[in-house]
Structure formats: C-alpha cells, structure tokens
Amino acid sequence: MAFANEHITSYAVEATEFPDLARKYRVNGVPKTVVNDQIEILGGLPQDDFITQALELQK
C-alpha cells in the first residue's frame, strides 16, 4: 500500500523484539495491523476486506 501512494508509510514490525510496541498496540495475536493508531485489523483478511478496513478513516 505504501508503494502505491506517497502519503502512506508502512512498517512491518517484529512483535517479539519490541515488547513496548506490542504492549502499546495491545498485540495479543498476529498478524495485527494498526492504521494511524486508530484502526485495528486482526488476523489475515481477503484483500478487498483488508483495504476496506484499512481505509476506513478516509471516508
């Protein structure tokens, strides 16, 4: 997604190496995706659903 839009930056975070981040974002399972500290997406979703949830704030 970051590669497709210059306004988007993506971080793939290794959760076990950064317990502070895992705690802050309440990562109890993986994969967990957090968008702008506000949207949380749990687990792997089909692409259409993932994009819909990730772009929820754009509406």
Partner 1 sequence: MLSPADQEKLRDSFDEMTSPVRVLFFTQTLDGEHCVQTRRILDELPALSDKIAIEEVNFVLEKERAAQYGIDRVPALALLSQDAAGDVHDSRIRLLGTPGGYGFVSLVQALMLVGGHESSLTPENRQRIAAVSTKTTIQVFSTPT
- The amino acid that residue 14 corresponds to is E
Shortest reach from residue 31's CB to partner 1, in Å = 5
Write the burial class of residue 58 (CB in 10 Å: 0-12 exposed, 13-18 middle, 19+ buried): exposed
3-state secondary structure of 37: coil
Q: How far apart are CA 36 and CA 4, in angstroms?
A: 17
Shortest reach from residue 10's CB to partner 1, in Å = 4
* 31 lies in the site for partner 1, by CB under 8 A: yes
Shortest reach from residue 5's CB to partner 1, in Å = 5
Footprint on this chain of partner 1 (rule: CB under 8 A)? 1-18, 21-22, 25, 27, 30-37, 47-48, 51, 54-55, 57-58
